[in-house]
Structure 1
Amino acid sequence: MGKKKWLKTVAVGLLIAILSTYFYTVTVSGLFYFVEGPLQDTLRKAKSEDERQPDDRIKIVKIDEKSLAAIGKFPWDRKVYAQLIEKLEQSGAAAIGIDVVLAEPSKDPADDKALADVVAKYSNVILPIQINYPSKQQQAGELIPERIDYPASTLTTNKGQMAHINVFVDKDGKARKLPVGLPDEKGQYIPAFSVALANMVLGKDEKVRRDEATGKWLRGSETIPTNDRNQATTEFFTTPRQEADASTGYELLSVIDVLNSSKPLPLEGSIVLVGPFVTAMQDEYPTPISSVKMFGIEIHANMIQTLLESKFYKDMSKPAGVAAILVMALLAIYLFERYKGKAALFIFIGLFVVYGIIWLLLYTVGSTFAPLVYPQFALVAIYVWSIVSHYLDERKERNRVTGIFGRFVSKSVVDELLQSGEDVKLGGSRKDITLIFVDIRGFTPMSERLEPEQVIQVLNEYLDVCTKAIFKFNGTLDKFIGDGVMAMFGAPIEFDNHPEMAVRAAIEMKSQANILEQKLIDTYGIGVKFGLGINSGPAVVGNIGSEGLRLDYTAIGDTVNLSARLESNAKPGQILISEQTYARVKDLFNIVSIGEIKVKGKEKPVAVYEVLGHLS
C-alpha cells in the first residue's frame, strides 16, 4: 500500500475519531444521549426481582387522596406535621424526612411554633430546601442558584436538619441521577435529602460526606462516582407505585392512618419519608424503568437505598471513554484498509459485536456504563469510509486500466468488455477472427534521408493513422512491429462481421495514408505508402507470456502467419486479402483476384485478392 494512501486513510480515520470524541464530550450526557440513555435504561430494566429487592427499613408515609379528604385541602396546618412527627418518633423511626416545602410562615404563629418545637426536640428530622435555578446557566456545569427556599425562619430549623430535595432530569426529561449535594449562595454545599436521611442510619465510618480538598463525594472511604453537577446514578429498586403490588415496593402508610393510630406502628429503626403521592401535587418525574411517572418521594427512597447499599452504576471517566473511541477507530483504520469485501464485512460485524459484549461485561461486572454509541459511530463511519475509499480506488484503477487498454482497442470495445464482467485470464481460447498486418513501404530509404527526430515524427503520424482506423472499426491493436502494425478484429469482443470491419479499416488506412504521403512530399520531397495483408479464420487468442512478469494479449496460429505473409507480398498502396476473407466480403467491396502466390510456410500456392475500395 502506498504511503500517500495510508496517510490519507489515517487522516480520515482520525478525523472521524475526533468527531466522535467531540460528540461524546460536547455535553455531560453526550450528543447522542437520546440513544445512549435508552440503551442503558434497557439494561437497568432487565434486572431480576431479587436484584431489585427494596430495603424494608425504608417507609413512605404518603399524602394521598384519603388523607386530603380527611384532613382538608393542601397546604395543611403545620400542627399536622408536628403531630405526625410525634407519632413516628413514638413508633421508633430512626430518621424522618418531610418532603413538603415550608418556605412561607404560617398565618397562625402557633402552628409554626408547634412544628419548630418538635423539630428542635428530635434531631433525626429533616426539613426540605428547594433550590431554584435560572432556565440557563452562564457556563456549562455551573450551579448558581437563582433563589433558595429554606424552611420559614419561624420554624427556627437547625442547619443540620435541612437538606435539598432537588431532582434533576436529563435532556430527555427522565430522572436517572440525583445530586448528592448542591452549593448555596456562598458556595457551601447542602446535602441531598437522601444523603441526610441515609447518614442517620449509616455507621460513623460509612457516612456520606464531601472532601473539601478534592471536591469528591465519599461514602466512608469509597468515592461516590458523580458528574460535574454532583449527580450520582440512582439505582431503582422499585417501579412507580401505580405499577407495583404490596410485595414489590417500599411499605406505604397513609398520613391519616398514622395520625389515627392508637398504638405505635412497626417503624423501629426505619427511615420514614413523608411526601406527596397524588398527581395533582405535581411532584412526579419520568424514570428510566417505567413509562409511568414516579413520585419525588419514591425517587428519594430509591436514592437512600442506593446510598445504604453503596450500589453505584457509574459512567466511565471521560478520558477512558475517549481512549475507547480512539482504540476502536485505530483498529478499524488498520483492519479496513488491510481487508476488503466480505472479509471487511465480517471484521466490521465482529468488532461491533465484541465491543457490545465488552460494554455488557463492564456493566454487569464493573458496574460501569462505558460509551457505546460513540465508539460504534466511529466504527461504522470508518467502515463506510473504507467502502467508499475502496470503491473510488477501484474506479480510479478501472479508469487507469481503461485508459491503458483504450490504447489497444477502441472505446466501444473497452466498454463492452468491462460491462461483460469477463475476467482476463492467462492462456488463450480458439476464436474466429480477422488479422491485419500493415507495413510502411519505403520507410528505410526515407529514414536515411531524414534526421532521427524527423523519422520518429513521420513514423508516429503513420502509426496514428493506423491506430485511428483500427479503433474506428472496433479493432484491437495487438502490437507495433518496428514500422508495422498488427491488429485483430473479433477479439476480445466477438463481432459476426469482423472481416468486413477489418477491410473497412484497411481502406480507411489507405485513404488517410495517401493524404499523409502528399504532406510528406510537400515537406521532405519523399513519400511512403502502406502495404496491407488481411486474413480471416481460427486462431488462439489470449494472454500469452509470463504470469508474474509480463503478459501480451495477442493471437497465434496459421491464420496469423498467412496474414503476415500477405502483407509482405503486398506492393506499396496495396491491400491483399486471403480466400477466406474474400469469401465473407466479396459482395461488400470492389475486389479483384490477382491469382495464386507462393508464400513461406505453405506447400501449395494460395489464392490472393486485392481490395480496390468500396463499391461505387
Structure 2
Amino acid sequence: MKFSKKYNKFKVTRAFLALALTLAAALCYLLAGNLIFGRAIDYKWRDMLFSMRGPEPPDDNIVICSLDEESFEVLEQELPFSPRTYIRFFENLKKLDVKVVGLDFILYEFYKSDPDTDDVALKASLNNLDTVVFASKIENYFKKQRLGTAEINIISSKHKTSNRYFAETGVTGLINSSINFDGVKRSSQLRFYSNGKYYDTFALKLYESFISGLSPDKAALYKTTSEITAGHNEFIIDYAGGPKHFNEIPFYAVVEMPDSSVEKLRKKYENKIVIVGPTYYESHDFFNVPFSNTRYVKGFQSMAGVEIIANTLHTLLKNNFIEVLGSRPYDVLFFITAVLTAATFTFVRGSMSGAVLALAYSSGILWLSIDAFIKHKIIIDIFALVFLIFAVYFCANIVKVFVVEGEKRHIKTTLGRYMSSSVVDKVLNQADGVNLSGESVQVAVMFADIRNFTSLSEKLSAEQTVHTLNLFFKKMVDIVFSNEGTLDKYIGDCLMVVFGAPKTIKNPASAALKCAMEMQKATIALGREKEIVDLNFNFGIGIGISFGKCVVGNIGSEKRMEYTAIGDVVNTSSRIQNLAGEGEIVINGAAYDTLAAEGDAGLADVLLGAVKIDSVSLKGKEEKVDIYKIKII
C-alpha cells in the first residue's frame, strides 16, 4: 500500500504548523508589552499577589498620628491649628522622646517677616525635638509669557514648602506622588528631578533621619541612604496591609495628653518615627492601593497618603524591595514557554486535550508567579505568558482545522479504500507517521474465496470480471466493517479479514463467525440478482476461520508497506478455507472452543449444528488439526 508520499506531505504540514506557532509566539512577544489591557491585567495580578500573600506585621518603629475628624471636634479647630495647639503637640512629643517627627502637610505656608510671640515659641518647640521632617511639594502651573506680539501659556513649576521660619528647624522632603494609569498607587520614588535639581522624598528623609540617630551597632542593621538610592530610586511599595494597619494615635490624644500618662506612653513611643498627616475624608488625600477591595479591608477601601508614606518607610526599614523579574530572565522564561507550547500543540490531538493542556500550562505560570512573590518577593507578570499559551493554542487549532485536518481527511479517504477506518485511525494517530513496530495479539482470522471464479473469469471480458469482483467485494467489505473487522488484503478473488486488531474488540471469534454467516447469506442473495444470473454462474463462497495468537503491524519498508497479520493462525485459516465448499464455513478447534467459551446466545444453535472432522492434515503443518464445518442454507 503506497502512502509514504501522503505521509511526507503530512509531515510537511506538521512542520508548517510548528512554523506558524513559532511565528504566533514571536507576535505575542511583540504585542504583549504594548497592549494597554495587558498591562492592566498585570497590574491587577500584582494586586492579587498582595491579597494572596496577606497582611504582614508593620515595622513597629512607625507610628501614624492622624489628623482626623475626631481631632477637629475635640479641639474645636480646623487646619491650620493655632500655634498654641501645635506647641502643646510638639512639647508632648518631646516628653515621649520621639526620635523623628514627620509632618505630612504644609505648616503655615506663608512667611511672616515679623514673627510674633507664638511663632517664636512654636519654633522653639520644634527645635527641642530630635529631628523634624517637613513636607514640601513641587507644583506645576500655567505661566503667561510673551512670544513676540502674542501671549502664550507655558508650564512652570514651583517648590511649595512649609513656612521657612519653621522649616529651618528640620529637613524637608517631597511628598509628590504618582499613580498608575488604572488609579492605583503601587510604587514610590526616593528622589525627584525637577528644574535641574534632585530633591529627596519625604520617606527618604524620614529614613535618613531615623538611622542617623541610631548607635553605630544598630545603624549597621540598616542600609545607608546611598546604598538604598543606588539601586531602588523607583520601587514597588511592599504594603504591609490595607488601611488602618499601622499603629495609630489621633492628633488630639497627643495634644491633650495628661502628664500622668507620660511615663506609660513613653515606653510605647520612645525612639519611634511619628508621621503626622491627614486622614479626614475632605483632605482628598486618599488612594487605591493593592489591598483595596480585598477581604482584609473593612469599610473605607482607600488609603490615606500618610499611610502610604508609612508603608513606603516600612519597605525601606525592612529592606523588603520587591523586584520585577528582569527582561533577560523574563525573555528566557518566555522562550521556554513558547518552545514548550509550540511543541505540544503541534502534536497534540483534539481541541479539548489542547484546552486542558493550555489551562495546565497557564496554571503552572500562575503558580510560579505566586511562589516567586511570596517566597522571594519577585514579581513575574503573567499576561504575556498566558496570552502566549492561548494564542499558540488557538493558532494551532485554526491551522489544524484548515490544513492538518484537511490533509488527514484526504489521507483517510485514500487509505479507507484499502483498509477499515480503525486501521486508518491507528496509522494517522502514530505521531511519527509510519511505524514498523508490531504487537502480539489474540485474533480471529478469516479467509473468504469465491468458488470456481477462475473458470468463470475465462469466459468474461476484463471489464466484466472487474465489475463482478467489485460488486462482490463491496457487499462483503460493508459486512466486514459493520462487524468491526479489519480488511487485511485482497488476494485475487479472495479476501483476508482480521478481527481484534488493530482495534481490540470484545469476542473476536463471535464477531468473525457472525460476519461469515452474513457474508454467506449476502452471497446467496447476490447469486439471485439478474446480472449474476445472466452470467450463468453458480455464485458461492467458502470461508475459513481460525483463532489464536499472531503478530500484527506494519510490515514492509518506508516506501511500501501494509498493515497485516502473520503467524500460524493466518496459515491455518488459509488452509481450512480450501476445505470449505460453497455456502460452508470451516473453523478450527481453537475457534470452536473460544466460541463456546464466549457463550453468544445467538450462535448456540449454529455451534450445535457444526460437524466435527477429526485429525485433518493441512499443508505446511506436521500436526493434524480438528475442524468444524458449518453449512449455511
TM exceeding 0.5: yes
Query: Are residues 579 and 469 of structure 1, via their aligned partners in 2, closer, same or farther at CA, if it must alter by over 3 Å?
Result: closer
Matched, 1:250 2:261: no
Query: Are residues 491 and 546 of structure 1, via their aligned partners in 2, closer, same or farther at CA, if it must alter by over 3 Å?
Result: closer
Deviation per CA, 1:270-305: give whole Å up to 9, x if none: 433221133343333343343243322122122123
Q: Cα distance, 1:327 vs. partner?
A: 1.9
Distance 2:459 2:334 in 1: 74
Matched, 1:429 2:459: no
Contact 1:434–1:534 at 8 Å: present in 2 too?
no
Q: Could you say what the CA RMSD is over the residues aligned between the two structures, in angstroms?
A: 5.9
Q: Cα distance, 1:547 vs. partner?
A: 3.7
Aligned residue number for residue 540 of structure 1: 546
Aligned residue number for residue 125 of structure 1: 133
Query: Are residues 256 and 27 of structure 1, via their aligned partners in 2, closer, same or farther at CA, if it must alter by over 3 Å?
Result: same
In the TM superposition, 1:36-75 aligns within 5 A as 36-45=45-54, 47=56, 52-56=57-61, 58-72=62-76, 74-75=78-79
Q: Which structure exhibits the higher relative contact order, with contacts defined as CA atoms closer than 8 Å and separated by 6 or more residues?
A: 2
Aligned residue number for residue 453 of structure 1: none
Distance 2:532 2:157 in 1: 97
Deviation per CA, 1:388-411: give whole Å up to 9, x if none: 9899968965763454233467x9
Distance 2:349 2:204 in 1: 55
Aligned residue number for residue 577 of structure 2: 560
Aligned residue number for residue 227 of structure 2: 221
Aligned residue number for residue 511 of structure 1: 531
* Residue in structure 1 matching 2:160, options 138, 150, 154: 150
Distance 2:422 2:228 in 1: 77
- In structure 1, give the amino acid aligned to 2:415: I
Contact 1:174–1:286 at 8 Å: present in 2 too?
yes
Distance 2:39 2:190 in 1: 22
Distance 1:119 1:30 in 2: 51
Aligned residue number for residue 470 of structure 2: 467
Contact 1:96–1:271 at 8 Å: present in 2 too?
yes
Distance 2:413 2:320 in 1: 66
Distance 1:221 1:46 in 2: 27
Deviation per CA, 1:125-151: give whole Å up to 9, x if none: 3123165799xxxxxxxxx98876723
Contact 2:524–2:539 at 8 Å: present in 1 too?
no
Query: Are residues 486 and 351 of structure 1, via their aligned partners in 2, closer, same or farther at CA, if it must alter by over 3 Å?
Result: closer
Matched, 1:190 2:210: no
Q: Cα distance, 1:68 vs. partner?
A: 0.4
Distance 2:514 2:141 in 1: 78
Structure 1 gaps, min length 5: 135-143, 207-216, 447-457, 515-528, 567-576, 582-600, 602-610, 612-616
Q: Cα distance, 1:201 vs. partner?
A: 2.4
Query: Are residues 557 and 162 of structure 1, via their aligned partners in 2, closer, same or farther at CA, if it must alter by over 3 Å?
Result: same
Contact 1:95–1:124 at 8 Å: present in 2 too?
yes
Deviation per CA, 1:122-176: give whole Å up to 9, x if none: 5833123165799xxxxxxxxx988767237887967994433244444664433
Distance 1:173 1:493 in 2: 75
Aligned residue number for residue 400 of structure 1: 411
Aligned residue number for residue 272 of structure 1: 274
Distance 2:116 2:282 in 1: 25
Aligned residue number for residue 87 of structure 2: 83
Distance 1:63 1:349 in 2: 49
Deviation per CA, 1:497-549: give whole Å up to 9, x if none: 433422444566x72898xxxxxxxxxxxxxx796741355523899776451
Aligned residue number for residue 97 of structure 1: 102
In the TM superposition, 1:411-422 aligns within 5 A as none
Distance 2:537 2:124 in 1: 121
Query: Are residues 111 and 258 of structure 1, via their aligned partners in 2, closer, same or farther at CA, if it must alter by over 3 Å?
Result: same
Q: Cα distance, 1:445 vs. partner?
A: 10
Aligned residue number for residue 235 of structure 2: 232
- In structure 1, give the amino acid aligned to 2:64: I
Deviates more, 1:493-502 or 1:391-400: 391-400
Contact 1:437–1:486 at 8 Å: present in 2 too?
no
Query: Are residues 96 and 153 of structure 1, via their aligned partners in 2, closer, same or farther at CA, if it must alter by over 3 Å?
Result: closer
Distance 1:369 1:413 in 2: 51
Q: How many residues align?
A: 504
- In structure 2, give the amino acid aligned to 1:534: G
Distance 1:350 1:579 in 2: 58
2:469 counterpart SS class: helix
1:32 counterpart SS class: helix
Q: Cα distance, 1:93 vs. partner?
A: 4.6
Aligned residue number for residue 323 of structure 2: 314
Q: Cα distance, 1:12 vs. partner?
A: 0.9
Aligned residue number for residue 30 of structure 1: 39
Structure 2 gaps, min length 5: 1-9, 143-153, 216-222, 429-437, 481-486, 499-510, 556-561, 587-618, 620-632
Q: Cα distance, 1:41 vs. partner?
A: 0.9
Contact 1:534–1:578 at 8 Å: present in 2 too?
yes
Distance 2:419 2:467 in 1: 12
Distance 2:584 2:531 in 1: 23
Contact 1:441–1:531 at 8 Å: present in 2 too?
no
Contact 1:177–1:231 at 8 Å: present in 2 too?
yes
TM-score, normalised by the number of residues in structure 2: 0.60
Distance 1:107 1:239 in 2: 40
Contact 2:50–2:290 at 8 Å: present in 1 too?
yes
Contact 1:235–1:302 at 8 Å: present in 2 too?
yes
- In structure 2, give the amino acid aligned to 1:197: L
Contact 1:163–1:192 at 8 Å: present in 2 too?
yes
Q: Cα distance, 1:240 vs. partner?
A: 2.8
Q: Cα distance, 1:314 vs. partner?
A: 1.8
Query: Are residues 29 and 71 of structure 1, via their aligned partners in 2, closer, same or farther at CA, if it must alter by over 3 Å?
Result: farther
Aligned residue number for residue 502 of structure 1: 523
Contact 2:133–2:205 at 8 Å: present in 1 too?
no
Q: Cα distance, 1:444 vs. partner?
A: 7.4
Distance 2:452 2:395 in 1: 50
Matched, 1:283 2:303: no
Distance 1:441 1:427 in 2: 37
